[in-house]
């Protein structure tokens, strides 16, 4: 499964209905292409809420052909039959996760360090994420990842995800720098029309025109 396109990450929310509703809106035009994945990440939810939300998102994603990737939680990824797992530096061992995931996707956060990306690929990661490429409201203290990193990482032979402060206004520059996917939270899920904003991001990766409001 080769990732390319919009990599949407769910926002933190104590309200499951609101979170699922936003995800549904984002996925409205996903069947037209330009999507890489939807990552489930909700730091505001407890274990039972997370399990219910992961299952609900799987049911939204699968008919639309969008992989569901669970953030940080291997057991939840397996229990919800998600399509993959994403791990940060302190979230567990990549090689151990790879052994349990089978053919599911495994991604790794590599911040601004090419050596972390090399180690992640050697441990079985299917894609690597670099960021923050721009100042991020979600993680204001995150180390910045320079655009040059994406060119240097092309030799790894896996998809490269850019994350951190990405908006519709700056996403094209990141793609030109070599990112295969743009990971977006706020500029997507805080948009006045989530479906139209998602379509606009997805259209950066395909030749079809975006849907106008």
Active-site residue set: 41, 109, 139
199 touches 23 (CB < 8 A): no
- Give me the DSSP letters along 102-154: TTSEEEEE-TT-HHHHHHHHHTT-SEEEE--SS--SSSTTPPP--THHHHHGG
Q: Are 178 and 151 in contact (CB under 8 A)?
A: yes
- Two structure tokens written together for 69: 């990737």
* 149 CB neighbour count, 10 Å cutoff: 23
- Burial group, residue 164, by CB count within 10 angstroms (0-12, 13-18, 19+): buried
Closest CA to 133 of 118, 157, 119, 153: 153
């Amino acid at each position: 499964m080769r990732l390319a396109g919009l990599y949407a990450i769910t926002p933190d929310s104590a309200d499951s209905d609101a979170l699922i509703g936003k995800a549904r809106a984002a996925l409205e035009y996903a069947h037209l292409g330009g999507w890489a994945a939807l990552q489930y990440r909700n730091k505001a939810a407890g274990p039972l809420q997370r399990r219910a939300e992961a299952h609900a998102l799987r049911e939204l994603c699968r008919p639309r052909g969008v992989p569901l990737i669970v953030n940080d939680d291997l057991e939840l990824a397996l229990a919800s039959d998600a399509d993959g797992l994403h791990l940060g530096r302190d979230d567990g061992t990549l090689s151990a996760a790879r052994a349990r995931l089978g053919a599911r996707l495994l991604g790794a956060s590599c911040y601004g360090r090419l050596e972390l990306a090399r180690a992640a690929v050697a441990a079985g990661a299917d894609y690597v994420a670099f960021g923050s490429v721009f100042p991020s409201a979600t993680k204001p203290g995150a180390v910045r990842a320079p655009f040059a990193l994406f060119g240097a990482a092309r030799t790894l032979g896996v998809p490269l995800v850019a994350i951190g402060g990405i908006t519709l206004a700056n996403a094209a520059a990141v793609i030109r720098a070599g990112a295969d996917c743009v990971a977006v939270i706020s500029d997507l899920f805080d948009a006045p029309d989530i479906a139209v904003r998602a379509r606009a991001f997805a259209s950066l990766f395909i030749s079809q025109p975006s849907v106008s409001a």
